[in-house]
């Protein structure tokens, strides 16, 4: 059976090519006409701050770097929570803002606060910098349909 289909397809290759092109064009047309919605990420606006402090133990980083940076960011307009993690040679701080906060405004406010704290950080430690990623990279898409047709095969 399969050999017959393959032999017929080879013999009628131009018909197969034409059918493939027509089906592809029809598919592109259907996709262009399909309604399409994009949902925002399901996480509030976040600003991530990273500080590299090579040669310092986590306890030293916590007292000399993490606390001053956290204290400067606390009280930022729209801030909901502040998380930090200190490891050998690095600090990672995540500032989570309310849903109604504009991510660019939040980044600007955090950057202003980070400039104020630069004088409190010991020499030999890199200056705090906010990471370029402001929102998680996961987005949701949907193709809403007015009517759903169910086909049952018996």
What number of helices (H) and strands (E) belong to the chain? Answer: 5, 6
State residue 6's pLDDT score.
Answer: 92
DSSP 41: P
In a domain, 72, yes or no: yes
In a domain, 91, yes or no: yes
The pLDDT-based confidence of 11 (bands split at 50, 70, 90) is very high
State residue 51's pLDDT score.
Answer: 86
In a domain, 36, yes or no: no
Per-residue pLDDT for 140 more than 70?
Answer: no
Any idea what the CATH number is for the domain that residue 117 is in?
3.30.70.1430
Query: What's the rounded Cα separation, in Å, for the pair 150 and 153?
Result: 10
Query: What's the rounded Cα separation, in Å, for the pair 56 and 142?
Result: 48
In a domain, 145, yes or no: no
State residue 154's pLDDT score.
Answer: 42
**pLDDT tens digits, one per residue of 111-132:** 998 888 888 888 878 888 887 6
- Residue range 137-150: average pLDDT? 54
Nearest to 65 by CA among 124, 133, 130, 134: 124
Domain count for the chain, please give it.
1
Segment among 12-16, 80-84, 136-140 with least mean pLDDT = 136-140
State residue 84's pLDDT score.
Answer: 87
State residue 153's pLDDT score.
Answer: 46
**Phi and psi at residue 44, in whole multiples of 5°?**
-70, 165
Per-residue pLDDT for 142 more than 80?
Answer: no
In a domain, 76, yes or no: yes
Query: What's the rounded Cα separation, in Å, for the pair 67 and 70?
Result: 5
Q: Which domain holds residue 103?
A: 46-130
Nearest to 94 by CA among 132, 137, 47, 62: 47
For residue 48, list its beta bridge partners: 94
**pLDDT tens digits, one per residue of 64-83:** 888 888 888 888 888 999 98
In a domain, 141, yes or no: no
For residues 52, 58, 63 and 68, what is the CA-based torsion angle, rounded to 10 degrees?
Answer: 30
10 CB-side CA count, 13 A: 5
**pLDDT tens digits, one per residue of 22-64:** 999 999 888 887 776 655 556 788 888 888 888 777 788 888 8
In a domain, 26, yes or no: no
In a domain, 135, yes or no: no
């Amino acid at each position: 059976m399969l050999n017959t289909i393959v032999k017929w397809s080879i013999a009628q290759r131009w018909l197969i090519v034409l059918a493939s092109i027509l089906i592809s064009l029809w598919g592109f047309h259907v996709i262009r006409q399909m309604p399409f919605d994009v949902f925002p990420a399901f996480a509030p606006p976040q600003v991530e701050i990273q500080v590299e402090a090579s040669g310092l133990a986590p306890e030293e980083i916590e007292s000399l770097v993490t606390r001053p940076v956290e204290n400067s960011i606390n009280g930022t307009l729209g801030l909901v929570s502040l998380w930090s993690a200190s490891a050998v040679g690095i600090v990672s701080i995540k500032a989570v803002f309310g849903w109604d906060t504009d991510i660019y405004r939040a980044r600007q406010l955090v950057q202003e606060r980070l400039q104020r704290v630069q004088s409190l950080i010991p020499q030999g430690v890199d200056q705090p910098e906010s990471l370029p990623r402001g929102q998680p990279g996961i987005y949701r898409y949907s193709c809403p349909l007015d009517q759903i047709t169910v086909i049952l095969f018996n």
